[in-house]
Structure 1
Amino acid sequence: MELVTQGRPAAAVVLARPRAAGGRPGRLDAVATSVRPDLEEVFRLEYARVVGVAARVLGSRDQAEDVAQEVFLSFGRSRVQAGEAGGWLAVAAAHTALNLIRSGRRRTSREETVAATEHAVVPDVADTVLTREDRSRVRAALATLPRTQAVALVLRHSGLSYAEVATALDLSPGSIGTTVRRAESALRKELNRHASSD
């Protein structure tokens, strides 16, 4: 099931509740009754942020949208209060994106297809290769960090304030700066370690 169908959130599509012949409830009626009443509103408010967090980790808008779909489906089955949805969704997006990297199921064919069809000035092939290798190293290094540090770093660099990161991770606001600095330091060490081994 896609979360966005012709520009409309799935909640709107599912809530349409088509009926079977004879006016009897259709198959989607059972699904529609299990949809959270606040899903569409939360989806509209938080979708861009969820995709942004996932894209920061994955470097691919297409993959980030896939992650967002999975995250919103999980949210739809959860009992998370709508007021806490923003932080919960951001953390879920970061976790899901990191899991995708860690599992090795990265799909780059879409990026390559888009890059091959662009008619803009073609950059030097060596620069393109180096840029991709650099991004790949950063993502691999990010995947080695402790989960809390990695998520805090991703959320902070996705534009969330220290207070928002603290709320999302259920940490004290005073500890977020330290957590982010430690994550940045660990990330630098991991990148340097890989650079010296090359």
Structure 2
Amino acid sequence: MYELHEYTTPRYLFILPARHSDMALINSVRSWFHTHYKLYFLCECSHEPNEMHVAPHEGYSIKTPQEFIVRYAPYLRMTIKIAQLLLSLGGLVIPQVGSASTAIKHVLSSKFDNDQYYEDMKNQLKMIDSLINRYDNQHKHPDTSVTGQQKSIGAPLQGADLRELESYLERVDNKRSLGNLYRTVTVGGHVRWVCL
């Protein structure tokens, strides 16, 4: 039951620019922080990353992108890799309409029939990955402790880190479910955030 108190927020998340952004236009970390980003959660319907999918929600705007990216860059690096894997398998669709849960079923096949959508998503994920790495490389310190080095690798978020995450989001729904995900507990006592 320890996990029930620790995992109060979905732990698999990634960010994308809210609008199409060209990497050439965002040539410095400073201009990267002025871009509008949205955060998306992944449904933990499986322990296998290739079987996850984007939660049926249009995403959350991030209030303070610079603080958010500085705080969560190491973890985002890991979750961007999961999102890239999902895209390569055809399972990464970002809901854009109000009724996201029904729309995702209709949009999934039509979006991936469109080669441009696939290429745009691939490029945006690559851009975020590149910028997180660029930011991290500019802010590495050679005297970092072992704990700090482990954190920069992308250790899973827990407890306070997850609870703090909500403070960066502009709330667009007043429900307690983030990204239309609901917290469930498995028979083994593990917490998972899944769509219903």
Q: TM (normalized to structure 1)?
A: 0.28
Q: Which of 1 and 2 has greater Rg? A: 1
The structure whose residues are more often helix, as a share, is 1
RCO greater where, 1 or 2, for CA within 8 Å and sep 6 or more? 2
